[in-house]
Amino acid sequence: MIKKLDDSVRYLKGIGPGRAKLLHRLGIASVEDLLYYFPRRYEDRTNFTTISALQEGQIHTIKGKVLTAGARRSFRRRGFSIVEALVEDATGTLACVWFNQPYLKEYFKPGQYLVLYGKVDRYAGRLQMSAPEFELVSDETDSLEAGRIVPVYSLPEGMTQRYFRQIVKTCLDEYLPSLADFLPYDIRTRHALLNLAKAVINIHFPEGPQPQQEAHRRLSFEGFFLFQIPLALRKLRAKEKKGLAHRIDGELADAFIKGLPFALTASQKKVIDEIKTDMAKPQVMQRLLQGDVGSGKTVVATVAMLVAVQGGYQAAILVPTEILAKQHYDKVRLHLAGLGLRVKMGLLVSSGKPKEKEKLYQQIRQGGLDIVVGTHALLEETVAFRNLGLVVIDEQHKFGVAQRALLPQKGAHPDVLIMTATPIPRTLAITIYGDLDISVITELPAGRKPVVTKWVGPDKREWLYGFIRQQVEAGRQAYVVYPLIEESYKLDLLSAEKMYVQFKKNIFKECTVGLIHGKLKETEQDKIMTAFEEGKIQILIATTVLEVGIDVANASVMVVEHAERFGLSQLHQLRGRIGRGPYESFCVLVSGAGTPEAKARLTAMTKHSDGFAIAEEDLRIRGPGEFFGRRQHGLGELGIADPLSQMQLLREARQEAIKLIAGDPGLQEKQNAQLKEKLAQRFPEYDNLMVVG
């Protein structure tokens, strides 16, 4: 029978239906999945210790012969069993015990040889190993458990390391000949990379530290390379598409910039020039605009939309919430009207009345609207543009990859500007946005005061409430954010609803208090935020619905309760809701953080105000997979590759991907046949990109 990598693991020796289900929980369905399920760490068991040299409190590897073995019940704990084996080597004897695993007594027979690995402790005056890992060996057998560098995997409950190592070994023995190397030979040669078979063997069962490092490097390069190929293809296909050559010099964009009540920062001017240069070309613009909270991305996007409009095209901006859509619409419309610029704008949101929406659909279709601001409602099939020339997507991480692709399809290859307020270090942005050109706003507008950030314990709440009261009496407003909407009996956390009642009835009964959370209808959320914006609510209790919210210049206090429950980027986004006006603003993080990670996050918040510094810290604490969101961006495909610690390798893999695609965009050459097959398997959504068109 031909062995194929897509064979089900169920039919491997030692795996039945029950264990196959456990493996499926790890994402292992096929033989290839198993071979690419890499160890999370290694234990160096290359040196055996004699029993006489064992030290209490230390981890050791020993090899010995079973003298006696048996099981007994514990007198102290009912139903608790103990299996004990007495093991000897040439220097002495050692007791080894396992708890509540009575089946082990069948494994250990006098005269059998064992390799054991575990911590040595003292019990009843004698040294023993408690629950050591073990392997039954003959005196000459090559062991998977000892005398070597041993892999340790992340496994579900009910599956032992020893069992998993054995099925990996079985899989390698049977399927290694089927493991064809899809990395082109010239690339492997240029970068001194191991062949695939040798790399897979040495990632699971390294011959030594150096081979393990070489295997890690080869498989990391492979992960980066495979990830970058579709991005390079997408970028190439976008460049090949005939786009719209916009007229960048015109009265609308120039008049808007001249009429701004503030001067653009040097960073904004640079980014506007980059966008205009792109828009003037007859190719489709695909640009990512990064900028910290409050850095002035909306102004830049408005200039881009006016460039499209002054050339006779329509522009659309897609935002994640109705509150944000209304803010964009009101801000831009009022400013343009104040300058006397005749630009017709529309607001399309899901909660709009059917008759109003129908009227908007008709205006959009007939070209009666120049700029349309909207939420997911813009993506509906009923929305058709007459002449869509520019698509702006705000807070892009709130939309899925497929959603982001829908709006540009409503025009004849419109330019696309994607905006994010989640700063990503530029060198790392190429990992997930390699198909986009990147612009970065690095400065905040002049006069913007940094927010004072403090981390306090729960015992400081009385002081905190007094501080909020002082700010409110001075005419300011405050946000108080909680991680939960309702009280939870499982989690000992304050909730937004419970504290709303406490604030209204007791703590701040002299103030107007509001409550906003994600379970409210969007119309109700809009109503509450408008009341806060107008100063009718002084203290607004909220959940993370505020993370992407409107700007209220008068709000000077942001309190985040149980701050350890929030991610670093979430905390930074929440802090960005204040400091929008001329008043000194304060962000207070309330937490009795216990874990090192939580402490690191909160310390970073008090130390850094710059979003890019926050992003660096977030990457350091969480790692790139969690930071970027592996599921959304496909970073699971990177395997063991880590953009943070292997940046040079990432650059090399990216350069090779770009070079290969430039020379063979359809991957038609014979040497790229296996690579094409692998890409179609790993990234089925990109398969059509590899067709020469």
Contact 416, 391 (CB under 8 A): yes
pLDDT for residue 692 is more than 60: no
Question: What is the sign, positive or negative, of the torsion defined by CA atoms of 332, 338, 340, 342?
Answer: positive
Contact 608, 472 (CB under 8 A): no
- For residues 322 and 399, membership in a common domain is answered with yes
- For residues 342 and 418, membership in a common domain is answered with yes
User: Which amino acid type is present at position 455?
Assistant: W
For residue 347, give the DSSP letter: E
* 70: nearest Cα among 61, 60, 79, 82: 82
Task: Enter the tokens of residue 473.
Answer: 């009496």
- For residues 429 and 493, membership in a common domain is answered with no
Task: Enter the tokens of residue 303.
Answer: 């200039």
| Segment among 75-79, 390-394, 593-597, 614-618 with least mean pLDDT | 75-79
Domain stops at, among 147, 164, 196: 147
Contact 219, 637 (CB under 8 A): no
The answer to whether position 658 is within a domain reads no
Give the neighbor-by-neighbor strand order of the sheet with 314-318: 345-348, 371-374, 314-318, 388-393, 415-420, 286-291, 437-441
The answer to whether position 633 is within a domain reads no
* 561: nearest Cα among 594, 584, 590, 533: 590
Residues 139, 252: Cα–Cα separation, whole Å: 86
**Mean pLDDT to the nearest integer, 419-446:** 76
In 10 A of CB 282, how many CB atoms?
A: 11
In 10 A of CB 544, how many CB atoms?
A: 19
Over the stretch 640-661, which tens digit does the pLDDT of each residue have? Answer: 877 767 888 988 999 999 999 9
- For residues 387 and 485, membership in a common domain is answered with no
Residues 240, 689: Cα–Cα separation, whole Å: 12
530-533 long-range contacts, CB within 8 A, separation 24+: 532/477
Across the chain, what does the average pLDDT equal? 85
DSSP symbols for 460-514:
GHHHHHHHHHHHHHTT-EEEEE-SBSS--SSS---BHHHHHHHIIIIITTTS-EE
Contact 298, 325 (CB under 8 A): no
Q: Which residue has the higher pLDDT, 168 or 637?
A: 168
Contact 79, 68 (CB under 8 A): no
The answer to whether position 349 is within a domain reads yes
Contact 205, 148 (CB under 8 A): yes
Say which residue the tokens 């949101």 belong to.
349
Angle between the N-to-C axes of helices 266-280 and 297-310, in degrees from 0 to 180, rounded to the nearest 10: 30
Residues 514, 610: Cα–Cα separation, whole Å: 30
- For residues 406 and 432, membership in a common domain is answered with yes
| Segment among 100-104, 424-428, 456-460 with least mean pLDDT | 424-428
CATH number at residue 124: 2.40.50.140
Contact 614, 423 (CB under 8 A): yes
- For residues 419 and 384, membership in a common domain is answered with yes
Contact 415, 285 (CB under 8 A): yes
Over the stretch 2-44, which tens digit does the pLDDT of each residue have? Answer: 778 888 888 888 888 888 888 888 889 999 999 999 998 888 7
Task: Enter the tokens of residue 345.
Answer: 């704008």
- Please list the residues that pair with 453 across neighbouring strands: 587
The answer to whether position 332 is within a domain reads yes
**79 is in which domain, residue-wise?**
47-147
Over the stretch 513-553, which tens digit does the pLDDT of each residue have? Answer: 999 987 888 778 878 888 998 999 999 998 876 655 667 88
**Mean pLDDT to the nearest integer, 419-437:** 73
Q: State the first-to-last Cα distance of the chain, in angstroms, to the nearest integer.
A: 39
CATH number at residue 376: 3.40.50.300
pTM of the model: 0.67
Dihedrals φ, ψ of 127, to 5°?
-80, 145
Residues 136, 15: Cα–Cα separation, whole Å: 20
The answer to whether position 392 is within a domain reads yes
Domain stops at, among 441, 464, 498: 441
The answer to whether position 183 is within a domain reads no
Over the stretch 596-638, which tens digit does the pLDDT of each residue have? Answer: 888 988 999 999 887 778 877 777 776 555 544 433 444 455 6
Question: What is the sign, positive or negative, of the torsion defined by CA atoms of 484, 489, 492, 498?
Answer: positive
Angle between the N-to-C axes of helices 596-607 and 611-622, in degrees from 0 to 180, rounded to the nearest 10: 170
- For residues 472 and 607, membership in a common domain is answered with yes
- For residues 478 and 554, membership in a common domain is answered with yes
- For residues 434 and 474, membership in a common domain is answered with no
Residues 482, 501: Cα–Cα separation, whole Å: 14
Looking at the structure of the chain, the number of domains it has is 3
Task: Enter the tokens of residue 125.
Answer: 């005056």
Residues 462, 212: Cα–Cα separation, whole Å: 56
Residues 263, 199: Cα–Cα separation, whole Å: 56
Question: What is the sign, positive or negative, of the torsion defined by CA atoms of 551, 552, 553, 559?
Answer: negative
- For residues 515 and 563, membership in a common domain is answered with yes
In 10 A of CB 125, how many CB atoms?
A: 5
pLDDT for residue 422 is more than 80: no
DSSP symbols for 334-375:
HHHHHTT----EEEE-TTS-HHHHHHHHHHHHHT--SEEEES
pLDDT for residue 61 is more than 90: no
Domain stops at, among 441, 474, 490: 441
- Classified as helix, coil or strand, 586 is strand
**Mean pLDDT to the nearest integer, 363-392:** 93
- For residues 352 and 472, membership in a common domain is answered with no
User: Which amino acid type is present at position 443?
Assistant: E
- For residues 70 and 134, membership in a common domain is answered with yes
Contact 423, 290 (CB under 8 A): yes
667-676 long-range contacts, CB within 8 A, separation 24+: 668/692, 671/184, 671/185, 671/186, 672/184, 674/180, 674/181, 674/182, 675/182, 675/183, 675/184, 675/229
Over the stretch 330-359, which tens digit does the pLDDT of each residue have? Answer: 889 988 988 888 899 999 998 888 899 999
The answer to whether position 154 is within a domain reads no
The answer to whether position 375 is within a domain reads yes
Residues 22, 15: Cα–Cα separation, whole Å: 10
